[in-house]
Amino acid sequence: MKVKSSSKKVNKAWLNDHVNDPWVKLAQKEGYRARAAYKLKEIDESLHLIRPNSLVVDLGSAPGAWSQYVQRKLSAGRHQEGAQVGAIIALDLLAMEPIEGVQFIQGDLREDAVLKKLELALGGRPADLVISDMAPNLSGIASVDGARVEHLIELAVDFCRAHLKPEGALVAKVFHGSGYDGLVRLFRESFMTVKVLKPKASRDRSAETFLIGIHLKPPG
């Protein structure tokens, strides 16, 4: 009974924080599906990653806030004289409500058949930007969770090596803890420039941070 009571207190505290969260309120006001949109917005405004005619791949896209932000940014760019239309391909294990201008694939990136679908959607065109909000179901066991996170980020980096423009970028959510230093090394081995950012929209107590790799290093 004590555990149940404690769990209720935690859930009530989380719900209270969520309801009163200014980023949640802003997301509701501006029509974003989640506060996460403002994390990507701050990263993009800091590093200018999304440009007109960009092809963006959104890994771990549900519920769709990052795709929404990218779609709005690309739509705004269309008003520039001579600007071409960009494209967004989103993928998630979970279902996602449709977003105009976003091609969604439901499936697990770890499966070859799903990766093939994603590659077909690219149509031979390399991506300008890959954004990854992928995260595993956490077990609470640090070593296990760290390995799961690390595997997902390795998949994102491998995807970039195969399908990202040389001057392109990868934005990936990671967590401080077991495996974090290894992921930083992986980014430094893979990209010319590596940035670490924790946007204001990330909760202070959250262990999440974001690694941004810009300009792939040549193989070998």
Which DSSP category does 218 fall into?
Answer: P
Spatial separation of the C-alpha atoms in residues 165 and 14, rounded to whole Å: 40
To the query of whether residue 173 is one of the catalytic residues in this protein, the response is yes
Ramachandran region, residue 89 (left: φ > 0; alpha: ψ -120 to 50; beta: rest): beta
Collect contacts of 194-201 with beta carbons under 8 A, ≥24 apart.
195/47, 197/42, 197/43, 197/46, 199/38, 199/39, 199/42, 199/43, 200/38, 200/42, 201/23, 201/35, 201/36, 201/38, 201/39, 201/42
Both tokens assigned to 150: 């690390």
Spatial separation of the C-alpha atoms in residues 191 and 172, rounded to whole Å: 13
Please provide the DSSP assignment of 162-177 as one string. Answer: HHEEEEEEEEEEEESS
Catalytic residue among 2, 73, 173, 198: 173
Residues designated as active site: 173
